[in-house]
Amino acid sequence: MPRTVKRTVKADQICVDAVELAREAALESAGQLGVGEHLGYEAEAERLVSHFFACPHPGYQGWRWSVTVVRASRAKTATVNEVVLLPGEEALLAAHWVPWAERIQPGDVTAGLVLPTPDNDPRLEPGFTGGEQAADTDPAEASQTRAIVAELGLGRERVLTPQGRDEAAERWLAGPGGPDNETTRLAPGQCVGCGFFVRLSGRLGTSFGVCGNAYSANDGQVVAIDHGCGAHSNVASDDRAAELPPPVWDTIAWDEQTSLFD
């Protein structure tokens, strides 16, 4: 196999000496960013040299101006070919772009926002499979049946897959309605024994329910069966059955036309 030999380009002396020409071009393009000291040059090709200048702007630390000058054949002077601002090895760069579908996190969809669900979402499967009640995990003619289901409006078009349920369960267990938090550790009992606990249906119901206590911080939210809070229904008031003692002196007489303040 033949070896590829990289030919070293000899820097054109006229282009090398055109430092001030390159600086003027950089100053014209830099504006408020400014142009710093000359950092050197690099021969790009025959009669083509790039001069580098520091960028003193604090927002572009590590960046440098690159001004490429070129000399035409048999010409006595060089001309400016290109001016660009380039990042150096220690330059501060923007984070690598990530598609929105990968950036979005649980809870990011707020009022007024719409989040489309892709057809290949691993958390969902066609509704005709029966979801948690499915007997056949590999139904035939899935795409054709999905179209019929959507056209006839028979139930939900898609339901949670086992992966979707597992991901939801992990989020809920790690959230404020899970068992590992200060609220649960200080609670007098667990949600599974609370009268305000409304259990979910399906497989998720084995571990989760919804809180129905208006005075609880978890009211209307999913809670684990081993979660707990101070609003547990089994907490009885110490003075629930206590009767108030009779007054020492009753100053109010309903059969007399007197003021309460007399």
pLDDT of residue 143: 59
From CA 128, how far away is CA 204, in angstroms rounded? 20
Model confidence pLDDT, tens digit, residues 157-213 = 778 888 999 999 999 999 999 999 988 998 888 999 888 899 998 889 999 999 988
Q: Are 211 and 191 in contact (CB under 8 A)?
A: yes
Q: Is 245 exposed, middle or buried (0-12, 13-18, 19+ CB in 10 A)?
A: exposed
Partners of 208 in the beta sheet? 224
Q: Are 203 and 151 in contact (CB under 8 A)?
A: no
pLDDT of residue 1: 47
pLDDT of residue 18: 93
pLDDT beneath 70, residues of the chain: 1-7, 101, 109-119, 127-155, 236-244, 247-262
